[in-house]
A = this chain, B = another copy of it.
Amino acid sequence: MSNKKPRTAITPTREDDFPEWYQQVIKAADMAENSPVRGCMIIKPYGYAVWENIQKNFDAMIKDLDVENAYFPLLIPMEFMSREAEHVDGFAKECAVVTHHRLEADEDGKLGPAPSAKLEDPYIIRPTSETIIGDTMARWVQSYRDLPLKLNQWCNVMRWELRTRIFLRTSEFLWQEGHNAFEDEKGGVEDHEKMLEAYADLVENYMAVPVIRGKKTPEETFPGAVSTLTIEAMMQDGKALQSATSHYMGQNFAKSIGIKYQNRDGDESYAHTTSWGLSTRTIGAMIMVHGDDDGMVMPPRVAPYPVGIIPILRDDQDKDKILAYCADIVAQLRAIGIRAKINNSDSRTPDKMWGMIKKGVPVRVEIGAREMQEGTLTHVRRDLGRDSKASCKASEFMQQIQGILDDIHITLYQRAKDFMEQNITEAKTLADMEDLYKSGHKGFVKTPIAVLDDADLARVKKENAITARCMPFSDNGQSVIFGKAY
């Protein structure tokens, strides 16, 4: 029947129910799941490997920028939260509070916090390490010789969330948080811009997610910051996802926490600081940008394995030979720096193929008796599907594979970029923008900054959940991009 929908590996489809499709893709791709701990996820090996690749690439970038990694305590003294009113408003209301340091059994044998082990001052689990890193910087920075000081931490943080969604909003998540200090405004502002560019580089050139670079409007700027820069991506349902932010705090943070130093003239100055973070949330963005109705589509540069190999074993006769040939293909790929994995479980071949499709493995290789005998292999691109199926000599494949992977990256990036550009509509006034969304517009709306006033902005945010995503650099601060957001 021509109007019957084609069967898809994921139910529901994106069109039918985007939020539920998202959850089903994560499940089908075996990336993460909910845990017995309220609001916290378990990141499964296939999802965690993506985070490891993000970490590896971004870590190399920041080390090239002379950022040093360090590790700060998980717990934050209550006193630090009290010190900074803005900080508490921004973060710390909903957070995990540690009040006891020992368990004991009550009369019925039930375990609970020991009354005798109540802490005089409770601790909170870091929702960010800003205060404890700031307090440390205040001790480490004495002279202009100690600046710039560029510190980064890869860690877990907690913010008690009521409504959670895997990767996008969970009570615990993984991230990196960078906190840099400089002698003067010039150093701080340059760094602030440089870190945003590093994020854009990571997200576009490794995750194949196109972004709009811009500056937050004053209302959306991080509490206490002079300026917040952001990269905003468009999901396939047209909503925005803020993928990373870079804040310039001016001297505000240094003054509140005491980061002062003897400057080149021998006088006391406060440092200019920046902070910048990117979290496991971006994995959610990647899924919502690239996934399709058959599951995940992994961008090759952060894919756990860009090449997946399926041995096709029709009978036991050639089994060992085929597996040995597959192992050799993996070894050859490894030797040219390409991660590859064989599925040699005893599942059925079609199940293995659909497994790799749902996981979004960029290139699937199939090897049976014929391929083994001829020294060939059959390969299919996940982004183009079965029409891209082709066979070639294994030696040719080794010469071509890096080019194929690069082409998949470019194809995914360009497809997402075209989608984003097609779904940005211009509106001359705020009323026009609201009309667009009321009549079903999915996507972003760009409006000249001259027609906006604060009261109207607050109203549309409250009434329609439409927020100013950023003032894009490309328009030199003359326009604002609006969208509904994750």
Residues of A whose CB lies within 8 Å of any CB of B are 35-37, 40-45, 48-49, 51-52, 68-78, 80-82, 88, 92-104, 110-113, 122-125, 132, 135-136, 145, 151, 155-156, 158, 160, 172, 174, 345-347
Contact = CB atoms under 8 A, between A and B. Distances in A.
B96 A346 contact: no
Contacts of A96: 75, 98, 100-101, 123
Nearest to A161: B101
A174 to B, nearest CB: 7
Given A42-B73, A100-B122, 4 more contacts: A42-B70, A96-B123, A99-B100, A99-B113
A30 to B, nearest CB: 10
B132 A36 contact: yes
A113 B97 contact: yes
A128 B115 CA distance: 23
Contact of A35 (B92, B113, B132, B151): B132
Which of A49, A68, A94, A97: most chain B CB closer than 10 A? A97
Which of A77, A94, A111, A112: most chain B CB closer than 10 A? A111
Contact of A172 (B74, B88, B99): B74
B160 A37 contact: no
B100 A45 contact: no
Closest 9 CB pairs of A and B: A45-B68, A40-B73, A43-B71, A97-B100, A37-B73, A101-B160, A97-B113, A96-B98, A99-B99
A74 B40 contact: yes
A110 B122 CA distance: 12
Given A37-B123, A93-B102, A160-B102, A136 B75 contact: no
29 contacts: A35-B73, A36-B73, A36-B77, A37-B73, A37-B75, A37-B123, A40-B73, A40-B74, A42-B70, A42-B73, A42-B136, A43-B71, A44-B70, A45-B68, A45-B69, A49-B69, A52-B69, A73-B172, A74-B156, A78-B111, A81-B103, A81-B111, A93-B103, A97-B98, A97-B100, A97-B103, A145-B345, A145-B346, A145-B347
Contacts of A52: 69
Contacts of A174: 71
A9 B125 CA distance: 39
A160 to B, nearest CB: 4
A72 B104 contact: no
A103 B92 contact: yes
Contacts of A80: 36
Given A70-B42, A145-B346, A94 B98 contact: no
A399 B407 CA distance: 39
Which of A73, A76, A135: most chain B CB closer than 10 A? A73
Contacts of A122: 100, 112-113
A96 to B, nearest CB: 5
Contacts of A88: 103, 111
A338 to B, nearest CB: 15
A160 B71 CA distance: 18
A45 B98 contact: no
A71 B42 contact: yes
Contacts of A75: 37, 40, 96, 172
A102 B160 CA distance: 8
Nearest to A146: B345
A103 B98 contact: no
Contacts of A102: 93-95, 97, 160
Contacts of A77: 36-37
A418 to B, nearest CB: 34
Contacts of A95: 101-103
A123 B112 CA distance: 9
A174 B74 CA distance: 11
B158 A156 contact: no
